[in-house]
Amino acid sequence: MTTQDTLPAGKVWLVGAGPGDPELLTLKAARLIARADALVYDHLVGDGIMDLARPDARRIYAGKEASKHTMPQGDINQLLVDLAREGLSVVRLKGGDPFIFGRGGEELETLVGSGIPFEVVPGVTAAAGCGAYSGFPLTHRDHAQSVTFVTGHLKDGTVNLDWPALARPKHTVVFYMGIGAAEEICRQMINHGLPSMTPAAVVRNGTQKDQQTVLGTLGTLPHRIAESGIKPPALIVVGSVVGLHEKLSWFEGKA
């Protein structure tokens, strides 16, 4: 990005908007949002972020709530090409990081195919944001030497994951889009060898004012989810790091 005031025409920036708190935007993201001629944004772009856009900027909502895809992916890909061909500077704004369960790669492939120049700006992914704001370090020398980000939502509604690889000790697993499959996830993690007492949590609207964390274990989480009525967008964190919440939580209920 240059320091000049206007952005080059006919170009697309695929920008991560982070998990919600506008202060978690990168400086680069904030500057691009403030200068773009057109912004194409998703459902998960946090409140307050679109307010940074120019008053005269064109704003296009591309949707994407679970199972309520407002605009088909092919149309979004084509829209980016069309806006760039109109000679606009285009910010394609996605929640979290655009390359983590964001279909950012698919959008870029269309741009490449059409010869449209682009850049990618990473963002704070939901797992990092929820871990930080819920007090779960995703790795910790005493608890987890590795972390896996996985999607709990498959196109056909099944959850067909590599369970033996996920259900390992000293490991943290973050399930994006997993809340609807929580029961299956917890059952499989136990069936593949993790103790049912393994700490597990759901975090909804992480980093936002109304962030909600529901704590349990692999044995109790599905019941805790039903009891609390917690809804997407939320992710599930499994592993003993979740037990650190009690000591390290600093945000929820305190903001």
Q: Give catalytic residues, as residue numbers.
A: 42, 64
Q: Residues 36, 40, 90, 97: which binds ligand SAH (CB under 6 A)? A: 97
Q: Does 176 contact ligand SAH by CB under 6 A?
A: yes
- Answer for the pair 47, 77: CB distance below 8 angstroms, yes or no: no
| Closest distance of CB 175 from ligand SAH, Å | 7
Question: Is 22 a residue that touches ligand SAH (CB under 6 A)?
Answer: no
Task: Kindly give the residue spans of alpha helices, DSSP state H, lying in 54-152.
Answer: 73-85, 104-113, 126-134
Q: Binding to ligand SAH by residue 20, rule CB under 6 A?
A: yes
Q: Which is nearer to ligand SAH, 233 or 243 (CB)?
A: 233
Which residue's entry shows tokens 């099944």? 158
Span 214-233, contacts to ligand SAH by CB under 6 A: 232-233
Nearer to ligand SAH, 111 or 236 (CB): 236
Kindly report the length of the chain: 255
Residue 33 within binding range of ligand SAH, rule CB under 6 A: no
Phi, psi at residue 11, to the nearest 5°? -130, 150
User: Which residues inside 136-175 make contact with ligand SAH, applying CB under 6 A?
Assistant: none
Three-state DSSP class for residue 191: helix
Residues 111-140 that bind ligand SAH (CB under 6 A): 125-126, 130
Q: At what angle do helices 182-191 and 221-228 cross, to 10 degrees?
A: 170
If one asks whether residue 181 binds ligand SAH (CB under 6 A), the answer comes out as no
Binding residue count for ligand SAH, defined by CB under 6 A: 24
Max Cα distance, the chain (Å): 57
Locate 4 and state its tokens: 């000049």
Task: Centre a 10 Å sphere on the Cβ of residue 17 and count the other Cβ atoms it contains.
Answer: 29
Residues that bind ligand SAH (CB under 6 A): 19-20, 44, 94-97, 100-102, 125-126, 130, 176-177, 203-207, 232-235
